[in-house]
Structure 1
Amino acid sequence: MNSNNFIMKPKVDFCFKELMSDAQVRRGFIAALLNLKPEEIVSTELLPTHLNRRYSEDKEGILDVRVQLNGNIQIDMEMQVIMFTYWAERSLFYLSKMYAGQLEKGQDYDMLQKCIHVGILDFELFDSKEFYSQFHMWEDSRKELYSDKLEIHILELPKLARFKYPQTVLLNWARFFDGEDKEELKMLAKSDEYVQKAYDKLVDISADKEKRLEYEAREKAIRDYSNIISSGWVRGHEQGKKYGIQQGLQEGLQQGICALIEACQELGLSYENTHAKVLQKFSLTEKDTQEYMKKYWKAS
């Protein structure tokens, strides 16, 4: 690709984090997401993305982007391009951990501030045609709000190509995040002054040689991860034809597990996170998962 035409894809998490490092980009996107006027957003302070553990054995939580809005509301923004089977459970884990992590010992519950999870997904989570979903804690029959302190927003990018939607600023942002071509992104930038700021930031970081190397390494790791997972099962299926279904499935399973563990290590995931992914992906017992981890995990 001609270096003059190269531009990062906003939905690659490295690029998304770089975009959200800009206060004006954060302001515009959060305003569109929460249906606020940009001037209502006084501040969007970036917070540490590692969620505190109360106990050493607690599962670690690492967010993509964590923002404190107007000095009180906390927002977790996650860009996910690889299909994640337990996304709802994962998002609830991070949201509840972020909410509970606000209180120190001895503090009262009235100190707790609103927490919002935002999931921008490159896969479809729901059957409905809407690309944007917003969730609160409601009473089922009366639709009475139990508390406004927990909130979830989901954007499903693949639906943009399949359905038509009324024009909104949030739709422009979703299309921008889903954009892959420089001309397309440039046209989308004309729709809103803050999307324009995001495009300008995107052009700047795409021209940075060091950031481009980081981006391409991350994009390759994501691509390899996806290919490894699918090819592991394909190999198992082909071997099943040749050597017998049961043997082929077993060998394919082992290859798939090995490939997943290697891919997780390449992505820099911890032993604990990789263990959890293997357990969930292949529906193994805890004992079998430990044995596979012992067999395929490469100690540094």
Structure 2
Amino acid sequence: MSEFLMKPRIDFAFKEIMMDEQARIGFLSAMLRLNPADIRETRVLNTSLRKFHKDKKQGILDVRILLNNDTEIDIEIQLSALSVWADRSLFYLAKMYTEQIHTGQDYTVFKKCVGISILDFDLFKGEREFYSRFHLREDTRQTLFTDKLEFHVVELPKLPKELKEDSDEILLWAKFINAEKKEEFDMLAEKNPYIEKAYEKLQAISRDREKRMEYEAREKAILDHNQMMLEAREGGLKDGLEQGIKAFILDGLEDNLTKERILCKVERHFALTRERAEHYYNLFSAAKDK
């Protein structure tokens, strides 16, 4: 029987891999074009979506990391197409940025915020490159306005099938995240010592019975969500979407989540404004009480 290995692109597995400091340093040094030796310390921060429960549907999970120079990094993996991804990424990175300042402080407290999106769909139609990096620049002269906000996007469907002898480290990591077979993992681990550490972590969590149960629950939740959205599109987008929103809200109420938590989850999962999320919350929570 072949060895069971989790897929790193399932966000539960990726987040567990990023709990290993060497894997974390290797991934970030590749994405940010840094010398690993210059990253003295990384710290994984708690996020509001960190909680798991095998019976519940979950939203998009993120990995929040703080570097020794106070740069804050948010990494998200999204497996199903979301047309508003760019707007959503901007919103949450801007929120992460503004949360740095508190009453009585001045603007010198702001540190750099970096968003890394790993997507299993084509965000930029017609573009062939799998990796994109964005800064705020002047249109004509390309003068950098500020380096405090930075976006990285990896589109997994655009990965080249074959690696070259001099393949970029970002490509190696993207291939690792997208890999499924032991032979792929073995080959990539031989090419990069940090990927080797990530692979060792992947093997360890894949052997852990409890983590495997959490992983399989997460994978099932993602598949269920994708199927629900597919059925919503096929059976009438508005009706199907409303049924999905209703299920989310009722699940949240059943779990005794606060109204604020439910609204945040609905906003993020269905790309709704706060006003629309509140409309559905009031509609479906009232129906539950009848």
How does the TM-score come out when normalised to structure 2? 0.83
Query: What is aligned with 1:271?
Result: 262
Asked if 1:47 is matched to 2:38, the reply is no
Distance 1:164 1:115 in 2: 31
Q: CA deviation at 1:231?
A: 2.0
Query: What is aligned with 1:65?
Result: 63
Query: What is aligned with 2:27?
Result: 29
Aligned pair partner of 1:257 in 204, 228, 242: 242
Q: Does the 8 Å contact 2:60/2:76 carry over to 1?
A: no
Q: Does the 8 Å contact 1:76/1:118 carry over to 2?
A: yes
Q: CA deviation at 1:97?
A: 1.1
Count of aligned pairs between the two proteins: 271
Q: Does the 8 Å contact 2:250/2:284 carry over to 1?
A: no
Distance 1:200 1:286 in 2: 42
Q: Does the 8 Å contact 1:74/1:116 carry over to 2?
A: yes
Higher relative contact order (CA 8 A, sep 6+): 2
Query: What is aligned with 1:141?
Result: 140
Q: Higher Cα Rg: structure 1 or 2?
A: 1
SS for the counterpart of 1:190 is helix
- 1:151 partner amino acid: E
What does residue range 1-300 of structure 1 map to in structure 2 within 5 Å? 2=1, 4-50=2-48, 64-127=62-125, 128-161=127-160, 167-234=167-234, 236=235, 249=236, 253-262=238-247, 270-276=261-267, 280=271, 289=280, 293-294=284-285
**Offset from partner CA, 1:51-82 (integer Å, 9 cap, x none):** 9xxxxxxxxx9861111112411111111112
Query: What is aligned with 1:54?
Result: none
SS for the counterpart of 2:40 is coil
**Offset from partner CA, 1:122-154 (integer Å, 9 cap, x none):** 111112111111111101111001111111111
Q: CA deviation at 1:260?
A: 4.9
Could you tell me which runs of 5 or more consecutive residues in structure 2 were left unpaired when the two chains were aligned.
Answer: 50-58
Q: Does the 8 Å contact 2:179/2:185 carry over to 1?
A: yes
Deviates more, 1:115-124 or 1:253-262: 253-262
Q: 1:280 to 1:103 in 2, by over 3 A?
A: closer
Distance 1:288 1:98 in 2: 26
How does the TM-score come out when normalised to structure 1? 0.80
Q: CA deviation at 1:256?
A: 4.2
Distance 2:138 2:62 in 1: 31
- The alignment yields a C-alpha RMSD, in angstroms, of 3.1
